[in-house]
Amino acid sequence: MPAPRLRTIPLPGIGVQYQLTTRRHDTLSVIAHRDGHRTLNVHHDDDPDSCGLSMKLTAAEAMALTDALLPGHNSPNLLHTSDFGLLAERVTITGTSYWNGRTLGETKMRTETGASIVAVMRRAHALPSPGPEFRLRSGDTVIVIGTREGVDGAHAILERT
């Protein structure tokens, strides 16, 4: 029996869809919305319009389900979670980003979201604890720590074009 395959499908402006096809050719998909909600869908056959089940889960319900299924779950941007409700995620600055060439202080990140930028990865170098004068560049990966709401707010700010 071949190993199960999990496909990752970016959904711009929405989040990411994870899709698993079972050995019986049913498809289980989870849409990870940027706001922390998840939509769980089960499709029979190869037709996504033949959805047999669709459930919208709150962030807390999704976390409980994740813990039940696989305690070590990790999304592409998620770096770490804690028992204190904090998480660390990465956000990449694109060439079309509003922040390309601007300073961290201009983002007003901590004031607006309560989240903190703890490091920036530039090329092969980690730049820990960048100050407000640090100038962002295209290709930088910003490491943000905060609550789910704070990190989502950081994504909204840093993904501005």
Note the pLDDT tens digit of each residue in 48-107. Answer: 667 778 888 777 777 667 666 654 445 556 655 666 778 888 899 999 999 999 999 999
Q: 25 — alpha (psi -120 to 50), left (phi > 0) or beta? A: left
Query: Letter for the amino acid at 157?
Result: I
Q: What is the pLDDT of residue 77?
A: 62
Closest to 57 in 3D by CA, of 68, 44, 49: 68
Which residues contact residue 152 at a Cβ distance below 8 angstroms, ignoring those fewer than 6 apart? 34, 35, 36
Mean pLDDT along residues 11-20: 84
Encode burial over 91-112: b for 16+ CB neighbours within 10 A, e otherwise: bebeeebbbbeeebeebebbee
Look at the block and give the residue holding tokens 């407000």: 132
For residue 102, give the 3-state DSSP assignment: coil
Q: What is the pLDDT of residue 114?
A: 95
pTM (2 decimals)?
Answer: 0.54
| Domain edges within the chain | 5-73, 79-158
What number does CATH give the domain 79-158?
3.30.70.1450
CA 9/CA 14 separation, integer angstroms: 11
Which residues contact residue 16 at a Cβ distance below 8 angstroms, ignoring those fewer than 6 apart? 8, 9, 10, 31, 32, 75, 76
| Cβ atoms of residues 6 and 19 within 8 Å | yes
In degrees and rounded to multiples of 5, residue 85 shows phi and psi of 85, 15
CA 98/CA 68 separation, integer angstroms: 39
pLDDT confidence bin for 14, thresholds 50/70/90: confident
pLDDT confidence bin for 1, thresholds 50/70/90: very low
pLDDT greater than 80 at residue 152: yes
What distances in angstroms separate CA 33 from CA 1, 24, 122, 128, one per listed residue?
A: 32, 27, 27, 29
